[in-house]
Each structure stands twice: as C-alpha cells, then as structure tokens.
Amino acid sequence: MSRLDPASVVRAAPLRRWLSTWRGPMTLRRRLVLSIVALAVGLSVLIGLVSVLVVNSILLAQLDGQVDSSLQRAEAQLTVPSSGSAGFGSDGGRGQSPATITVITAGTEQYGARVGDDGRFTDLSTAIADKLAGVKATGTGGKAVTVNLGGSTGSYRVKAVALAGALNGQAVTVHLAVGLPTAPVTGPVTKLVVIIAIIAAAALAASIAFALLTVRYALGPLQRMAETASRVAEMPLDRGDVALDARVPEEDTDSRTEVGRVGFAMNRMLGHVSHALTSRQQSENKVRQFVADASHELRTPLASVRGYAELTRRMGKDLPEDVVYAMGRIESESIRMTSLVEELLLLARLDEGTDLVLKDVDLTRIVLDAVHDTHVAQTGRRFEVSVPEEPISVQGDAMRLHQIIANLLNNARTHTPEGTEVWVTLSRDDEAKEAVVTVADNGPGIDPAVLPVLFERFARADSSRSRKAGSTGLGLAIVQAVVHSHRGTVEVSSNEPGAVFTVRLPLEVAPAPEGAPVDLPAPVETRS
C-alpha cells in the first residue's frame, strides 16, 4: 500500500487553488484574456516554425552545394589502376574540407578515408564505410541524403556517383560516395530554436500582461455600471421616499462607443425609474394624508352617532322593540367603525413616523398586563405566560408595545376555537441584543397561501369568520408597523397544529428623525 507524500500535497495545494479560480462559467474578461494570449502564442509558434524551416532549408541547400563540389573534386582526383586497389593519387584530399568522408567501392575492393585537419586522408572504419557504400548513386546533379553514422561521427550529408573503370583487367563500376557533417546546419538551427523559444516565452509573458491591462481598461466601464446597478439593487425601492441619485459616470456614457451607449441607456432608465418612484411616493403621500384626514374627521360624527344611538336606546322605553333593536345595532356598528377609524389613523401616523413616545419601559410588565387583560376578557381559552426572573427593559412606546401583545393575543382568540392553549414567552437574546416575544397556540394553524400576505392591511385568513368575529384585518398590520417603528422584526411560522408569532425588539433603539416615515424592512420570508 503506497503512502501519500505530505510534501507533494503541500506543493499541489497552490495548483488546486489556481485551478479552482478557473472553474465555473467563462466570463467575458477571461474569454478576452485567453483570446489575446492564444493569438500571441499562435503567432509566435507560427513565426518560429516558419523561421526554423526557412533557415534549415537555406543552410541545408548550402551544405548540399558543398557536398556536390566535394564530390566533383573527389571524382577528378580518383584513380583506378589496372591492378591493385582503387584510391587517390598523390594529391588525394587536396581542396577538400576537413571532416569530409570519401568511400570508394570497386568490385570487392573498398576504400574509405576522412580528411583530417591537415588536409590528408585517414582510414575509416569498415562499419562507416559500409554505410556510405550503401548510399544510392544519383550523380553530381542528384539529391544528397542524410546518413547517421553513429557514435562521435554523427550525421552526414552524403551524395554518391557511379563511374566506369577497370580493376585487374576487369571492367568494374566504381561507386564513389562523399559526405560532409550536418553540424553546420543543426548547430545554427538548434541555436535558432532556443532563441525563438526564449523570445516566445517573453512574448507570452508580455501578451498576458498586455491582455490583462487592456481587458481591465476595456471592461472598466462595465465594472462601474455593475457597481451602479448593485447600489441601486441594495436600495429599498419598494417603500418610502427614495432618492435614486445613483448614475453611471459621465465618462462611461459616450454614445460613440458600444459600452458608452449602454451607459447612456442605463442613465436614462435610472432617470425614468427615479421619476416613477417620486410619482409613486407622492401618490402614496396623498393617500396617506387622505386616510389620516378622513379618519380624523370621521371621529366626531361617529362619536355623535354612537352617543345619540345610545341615548335613544336608553330612553326608548316606550319605543317598539324593533326600533330598540335597530338603535342597538347602530350603536354596535358605530363602535366597530370607530375602532376601524382609530386603527387607520394610527397606521397613517406610524407611516409618517409620528405617534411614538420612546422611553425606557419594562417589557416584562407590559407582557404580563396584556396577557392578564386578555385572560379576563376571554375565558374560553387557556393562556400561559413565561417571563425571566430579571425584568427586561427596552426603549419604546409603552402603549404601542402593549398594543403589539394585545393584537397578537386577540388574533389567537379570534382565529382559534374555544379550548385552545396559547403560550406567551418573553426572553433575552444577549448575542443579538434583542428582546424576544413569542405567541404560540395549538389551534388549526394558518393556510400556507395566506402566510405571504398575513401582515398586509385588510388581509384575512377567513373572510366570513373574520367578519363574524368583528375583525377589521388591520390588527397584524398594526403589529408589523409598530414593531418596525421600534426597529424590530416580526415573523410567523405555521405547523399542524398551531401558529407561532415571534417579535424581536432591540434592547436599545435610536428614534427616527422627527416627521420621517418609518423605514419598513423588506417583507419577512415566512415558513410553513
């Protein structure tokens, strides 16, 4: 069983990290860099290959010319006597370059020699002579061939010619082969390959640096557009008065370029969106002002209607029974309508950031009082409360915080059957520096289709049941508005059976500026 070398793992870690950066989708930046680098590498390889082939061809042609000249000189100096071995005369080797190899084969006789540095022939080994003797004769105008003679001799460019002669009185064909070393060709070509490789490596590094800088400069406007879009995406565009002043820089909006046209179009789009948001906010402000004014103006006539109905009902001893019943219904509906108007007025004030008096309040006492009040008013359900021994204090409006707990308890009372158990728990989250209030029950739960809109105004899980119970559909909307005005959050989860409402309030909250609208956070994702 082989063991893994820890050192190899350490060496491979940077490579894995580098490779991990290239995984995933192929970005435009990566495509451009790879394209530029691939083009530079391709051109370098092509130019280098062509240069090597051309230089090699030129040097080889020059060498072949030298071989042809050497063959002609050797042919002129060749002597084949009528008896004895074939060879050269007394001036054999004259004019031949050093390292020139000549092999003469006449019948069964063979002579091989190499020109030394002093210009004289020295004998060749039989193995080398046999290799050159096997070269096909093509004549002085033929094509030379490359023969690897092995050992320290190396490769030679060889050309051979067949001549008619006589040896020992017999007509024979004399095979003359002459060769020159290929070192004058392979040496310069090898140096050229090394030089081209060095230049290509330098060109590759330069192309990578150039590609990175060029692509970074070219994609800079797109990066700035993406940053602008990200800033816009982080803005709460769905609520409040939004100052959409984010724009693409002017230098990136030149309509003469492709990227500039995108930046110009994006600025136009942001301008239209800003205008639309301003119009939307003005419309919402008008609606809120109308609701606030209407709610305020309706309070007095509703109080009068309620007062006269109550007075008529109490003084109407001699009135018919149906008239007394009608007066009672008028009084009841006026009370219900007064409650609706008060809740609408409260929501309008909360939207404007008013109607809150922040101070240190004992949240423990508020929870206990709210549960006690609900228990006294409703005896058909069982309420249990759990609070810590140490009181929990928060900064907030005591009356509105009491209204949060009361509305959640009233919601449980309205939408659960008699005999339902309701648990109210108060705790402290020291890590988040928040007070946590949960109201849970073992009732029938909440329809998952209703959960996303549960905190919206006039939202009802069951319209007929809600109206029968006298619900206005504003209780949970008020809970959310009051919680958000205290910079807190409210969530709801529903299981089978039961529902759980969780309210989180910061232990210390900075009040909103006077007259500023409540910055409601994004809708909480509910879970079913």
Q: What is the C-alpha separation between 331 and 328, in angstroms, rounded?
A: 5
Instruction: Check residue 524 and give its pLDDT.
Output: 35
Find all residues with CB under 8 Å of 308, minimum gap 6, and list them.
Answer: none
Instruction: Check residue 14 and give its pLDDT.
Output: 59
- Cα three-residue angle 89-90-92, rounded to 5 degrees: 65
Q: What is the C-alpha separation between 12 and 176, in angstroms, rounded?
A: 61
The dihedral sign for the CA sequence 518, 401, 454, 436 = positive
DSSP conformation letters of 45-103: HHHHHHHHHHHHHHHHHHHHHHHHHHHHHHHHHEE--SSS--EE-TTTTTTPPTT-EEE
* Domains of the chain, start order: 67-185 (no CATH), 237-352 (1.10.287), 355-506 (3.30.565.10)
Work out the number of other CB atoms within 10 angstroms of the CB of residue 487.
19
Cα–Cα distance list, 18 to 23, 210, 222, 319 (Å): 9, 20, 25, 94
Cross-strand bridge partners of residue 79: 87
Q: What is the C-alpha separation between 487 and 519, in angstroms, rounded?
A: 8
Give yes or no for a contact between 360 and 379, defined as CB atoms under 8 angstroms apart.
Answer: no
Secondary element (H or E) of residue 315: helix 258-315
Q: For the chain, first and last CA: distance in Å?
A: 53
Pair of tokens at residue 465:
């049941």
Instruction: Check residue 461 and give its pLDDT.
Output: 54
Q: What is the pTM of this model?
A: 0.46
pLDDT tens-digit profile, the chain (528 residues): 444 454 554 455 655 654 555 565 677 777 888 888 888 888 888 888 899 999 989 998 888 888 888 888 888 777 655 444 555 544 455 677 888 888 888 777 788 888 887 777 778 888 888 888 888 877 666 788 888 888 788 888 888 888 876 666 667 788 888 888 888 888 888 898 999 888 888 888 888 888 888 888 877 888 888 888 888 877 777 666 667 778 888 877 777 887 788 888 888 888 888 888 788 777 777 766 666 666 666 767 777 777 777 777 777 667 777 777 887 888 778 777 777 777 777 777 666 665 677 888 898 998 898 888 887 776 677 888 888 888 888 888 888 888 888 888 888 888 888 888 888 999 988 888 889 999 988 888 887 777 777 777 666 555 433 444 455 667 788 888 888 888 888 888 887 778 889 999 998 755 444 444 444 333 333 333
Instruction: Check residue 112 and give its pLDDT.
Output: 83
Instruction: Check residue 54 and give its pLDDT.
Output: 92
Cα–Cα distance list, 227 to 232, 246, 263, 276 (Å): 9, 10, 12, 22
Instruction: Check residue 256 and give its pLDDT.
Output: 83
Burial class (CB in 10 A: 0-12, 13-18, 19+), 479: buried
Q: What is the C-alpha separation between 495 and 500, in angstroms, rounded?
A: 8
Give yes or no for a contact between 484 and 347, defined as CB atoms under 8 angstroms apart.
Answer: no
CA neighbor of 89 nearest in space, from 108, 111, 107: 111
Instruction: Check residue 432 and give its pLDDT.
Output: 85
Q: What is the C-alpha separation between 264 and 282, in angstroms, rounded?
A: 27
What single-letter amino acid sits at 375? H
DSSP conformation letters of 335-394: HHHHHHHHHHHHHHHHHTT-S---EEEEHHHHHHHHHHHHHHH--SSEEEEE--SS--EE
Burial class (CB in 10 A: 0-12, 13-18, 19+), 161: buried
